[in-house]
Chains A and B, each alone.
Chain A
Amino acid sequence: MNNILVFPMIVPILAAMLLLFFRSNRSIQRWGSVGAMAAVFLISMWILQQVMRRGILRLDFGEWLPPFGITFVADIFAVLLVTVSSLVTVLCLVYAAFVKDEKRESFFLYPFSLLLAAGVNGSFLTGDLFNLFVCFEVMLLASYALMTLGGEKKQLTEGIKYMLINILSSWLFLLGIAYLYGTLGTLNMAHLSLRIAEAGQPPLLTTISILFLVVFSLKAGLVLYFWLPGSYSALPAAISALFAALLTKVGVYALFRTFTLLFYHEPSFTHTIIGYMAAATMIGGSIGALAHRDVRKIASYNVVIAIGFILVGLASYNEAGIQGSIYYLIHDIVIKGLLFLLVGTIVHLTGKSRFDEESGLIANYPLFGWLFFIMILSLGGIPPFSGFAGKLFIGEGAIGAGHYGLTAVAFLSSLFVLYSLLRVFLIMFWGESTIMSKNQVPLPIGTLAPLLALGILTTVLGLGMDVLSPYISEAADVLMNPDLYIKGALQNN
């Protein structure tokens, strides 16, 4: 019955393989991939309801019982992320289908995007550390291909750096796995958690935990984000939106899993380090967001700031903080997708990426301009939109844990987020229109539709906090009480 758990990973893979046979038929490529991800979204909604009703679900591959076989473990946290990321992937693919970048489409843009989604969903669902590594690699290989697809000079040079950094971090990941297997003799996450708890996390294990912290920080862009702005700003809109919405979030998810399920016995050491790293990330990201004039760079640095902000919740390590992080993680997947699609559309419409070279866009594209404004408000955490709940709870958690300095940095960074994008809005959208209406590049309703959908989604998520809150508190409950996860992941039923 629990076989449904494998669907979020297997459906995109099968669809990607099928699409390989229809290279010349673009409309099958476009709508086939959208359909596959929409199916994944519906399936994960169903799984979400099941998990809510029946508790943590588990799938043992090949009937190998845990801790011996590979398992997929679906707790609310994982399934929530699968659901939201599938939905955002659908919208990014719809956008790509209307932009019709034929050069990239004929070189398997959609199959690679589907494989990326498969890796992301697999990483969220797996209950085995080595399987997490494999899913990371599935996701990364697809991302290498997407990164360099099109073969522009900038993409290639940034692609080499991106790939090298990720090869190194995967190497460190394997190193951590080797050490962990050498000391504890298991790789099932629930089983690892049990054994670490039995041993009481001696200094050796804490050292290994720092290795994992480095690995996942590289993936998530926590402090070690130097590779991120360059590579994300070299990509076309739909792909960069996929990257910004999904890739760093998988790193954040892995950080949450490792430091709430495995290495949670020495929070005064590990979680304090995470707190300092989060502060450094937010400060560095804010400086970057203010220093650049290229809108794509500004957007990329906003990704960095958000990563720091989410991890403030983990650093506080209490119920409110974790809840806030989950809210903010969901919000961030949606809003970063929207931000990158909007920024990509601006570059597509004007042909310019510096914000001081263009003005008065709102006269040409009124709906688009207001959408950009809503996105800024939501990103800054202004109440009716989805960013607010996360900010509120993270702030509450950080103050509850006594991290006053960190709270101050977190909320100052929100101001910088607001400022960096309002500046773009004021200069690019207001003022004298420089584009004559006859020279105006048309903005088809098809490309605008996914943007509109994401805009509505962020509003609905903000207004429908009450609907979401039982899921979030349940997810935070499982994260704060590793016993619940262990029971679901190891007990035979």
Chain B
Amino acid sequence: METMIILLVGVLVSTATYLLLSKNMIRIVLGTAILSHAIHLLLMTMGGLKQGSVPILGDQADTYTDALPQALILTAIVISFAVTAFFLVLVYRTYQTTGADNLYDLKGPHDE
């Protein structure tokens, strides 16, 4: 199971890399979003998948699920949500101000 998820993470990362390398800014934003999904999956996998138990370590428990990765992912999801929202607004505002929706048009002549 872990191997499958790791492969999925790999697929997501390669998709995201492809999107990040494109010129179009919306694609770049989508790339960062996919990138964050990949890392959330990886965090979850690192804690071990499917122990088939509750996240409580009692006196009689012989197996339990690690609850920490879930907490980490939850925090990371909230953060990446906020960052993606801000990034989208920034890209839209840049489009409004400069009329450019791809990075090459933004380059412009440098003053030096």
- A complexed with B: yes
- Across the interface, do A159 and B46 meet the contact criterion of CB distance under 8 Å? no
Segment touching B, from A102-110, A137-145, A324-332, A386-394:
A137-145
By a CB distance below 8 angstroms, the chain A residues around B68 are 181, 187
Q: Chain A's nearest CB lies how many Å from the CB of B32?
A: 5
Contact across chains for B108 and A157 when beta carbons are under 8 A apart: yes
Residues of B63-112 at the interface with A, using a CB-CB cut-off of 8 Å, are 68-69, 72, 75-76, 79, 82-83, 86-87, 90-91, 93-94, 97-98, 103, 106, 108, 111-112
Q: Is A171 an interface residue (CB 8 A)?
A: yes
Q: Does A490 sit within 8 A of B, measured CB to CB?
A: no
Q: Which residues of B contact A151 (CB under 8 A)?
A: 93, 97
Tell which of B43, B45, B106, B111 touches A174, judged by Cβ atoms closer than 8 Å: B43
Q: Which residue of B lies closest to A164 (CB)?
A: B28
Q: Say yes or no for A134: interface residue by CB 8 A criterion.
A: yes
Given known pairs A148-B90, A156-B90, the reply for A175 and B42 (CB within 8 Å) is yes
How many residue pairs, one in A and one in B, have C-beta atoms under 8 Å apart? Answer: 84
Residues B90 and A141 in contact, CB atoms below 8 Å apart: no
Check B35–A171 contact: CB distance below 8 A.
yes
Contact with A along B39-56 (1 / 0, CB 8 A): 100110111000000000
B75 touching A145, Cβ below 8 Å: no
Looking at the assembled complex, report how far the CB atom of A99 sits from the nearest CB atom of chain B, in whole angstroms.
Answer: 24
Q: Which residues of B contact A168 (CB under 8 A)?
A: 20, 32, 35
Contact B79 A137 (CB under 8 A): yes
CB nearest neighbor in A for B2: A182
Residues of B within 8 A of A465 (CB): none
Any B CB within 8 A of the CB of A30: no
> For the complex, what is the distance from the CA of A141 to the CA of B83, rounded to whole Å?
7
A175/B32 contact (C-beta < 8 A), A137-B83, A153-B97, A157-B106 known: no
The contact string, 1 if C-beta is below 8 Å from chain B, for chain A 273-295, is 00000000000000000001110
Beyond A130-B75, A174-B39, is A164–B94 a contact (Cβ under 8 Å)?
A: no
> Do B87 and A167 touch across chains, with their CB atoms under 8 A apart?
yes
What CA separation (Å) do A181 and B47 show in the bound complex?
7
How far apart sit A171 and B41, CA to CA, in the bound complex (Å)?
13
A160 and B94 contact, CB distance less than 8 A = yes
Task: List residues of chain B with CB within 8 A of the CB of A293.
Answer: 112
| Residues A160 and B97 in contact, CB atoms below 8 Å apart | no
Q: Is the CB of B46 within 8 A of A181?
A: yes
Verify if A335 is at the interface (C-beta below 8 Å from B).
no
Q: Is there contact, CB below 8 Å, between B82 and A141? A: yes
User: Could you say which residues of chain A place their CB within 8 Å of the CB of B69?
Assistant: 181
The 6 nearest A-B residue pairs measured at CB: A182-B46, A156-B94, A174-B39, A178-B43, A178-B46, A157-B106
6 sampled A-B residue pairs with Cβ under 8 A: A130-B72, A156-B93, A156-B98, A157-B108, A160-B25, A168-B32
